[in-house]
Homo-oligomer: A and B are copies of this chain.
Amino acid sequence: MDWRKHVRTALDGRHPGLGHRVELGLHALILYSALSMGVETLPHLPGWAQTALSVSEAAVVAVFTLEYLLRLATAPAPGAYARSFFGIVDLLAIAPFYLGLVFIGFGLDLRAGRALRVLRLVRLLKLARYTSAVDRLIAAWRAVKEEVVVFGMAAIIVLYVCALVIWQFEHDAQPEAFGSVFDAMWWAAVTLTTVGYGDVTPVTAVGRIFTVLMLFVALGIIAIPTGLVASALSAIRQKEASAAAEDREAGRRPATAARD
């Protein structure tokens, strides 16, 4: 076994000697990195804590950069890895840090820095690499993609139409809360998802009648996509379960082991 295979199997948790140790270490680093973003938000952080967070962030990025370079160097086809879903995720996990350095070099930190900090959360997608449930979710998504897209577009149109209608009814009574169709869309989204904060509510009789009609007709359009994904997901699970049962009867290894 040459060094490339050693490195690749170590990173993927299938090394004969190291086993899952390197993989688990990387996962721990991802979780630490996400938690440290939460700690950063705490008010009244002392100066030494802010320094510690900055230093540890640099260390985390250094490790992830090393991981990215090693994956690139040891992949059978480096170009294919770089263009794959997880290749892009691995790059996005470190890119914000280096972009931030560039921005500081040019003296433009403020707004862009905030967006870059949020982008660091992409790292959490690295956790999805070895979960078979993610494969199943992707298969379910493929089965119902067309419907969900149609219903998603229908949901946006319903939202926009409801917002335009309620604006006609409520704008005169509440010029603040229903200032333009964009304010009305906030109300429509909060209502149609049944969140119902209550910060914006219709007060006119005709606005309330329209809201009740809207809820009864439009709730279905919002709720159906979820039902479609769930039923597709359980259909895939049943198919996998019966395939695994057939494999067991035939004396072969189960289908899920075929990924190694």
**Do residues A155 and B197 form an inter-chain contact, with CB atoms below 8 A?**
no
Which chain B positions have C-beta within 8 A of A37? 164, 181
Which chain B positions have C-beta within 8 A of A208? 186
Measured CB to CB, the closest approach of chain B to A72, in angstroms, equals 26
Is A19 close to B, CB under 8 A? no
CA distance A185 to B168 in the complex (A): 22
A225: which of B127, B191, B220, B228 is its contact (CB, 8 Å)? B220
CB-based nearest B residue for A208: B186
**Do residues A121 and B164 form an inter-chain contact, with CB atoms below 8 A?**
yes
Question: With A164-B118, A167-B41 in contact, do A190 and B180 touch (Cβ < 8 Å)?
Answer: no
Which chain B positions have C-beta within 8 A of A199? 198, 201
How many copies of the polypeptide does the oligomer hold?
4
A193: which of B161, B168, B198, B219 is its contact (CB, 8 Å)? B219
Interface size of A by CB at 8 A reads 72
Is A6 close to B, CB under 8 A? no
CA distance A131 to B150 in the complex (A): 8
CA distance A152 to B191 in the complex (A): 20
**Do residues B237 and A230 form an inter-chain contact, with CB atoms below 8 A?**
no
CA distance A233 to B231 in the complex (A): 11
- Mask, A207-222, CB within 8 Å of B = 1, is 0100110011001100
Measured CB to CB, the closest approach of chain B to A128, in angstroms, equals 9
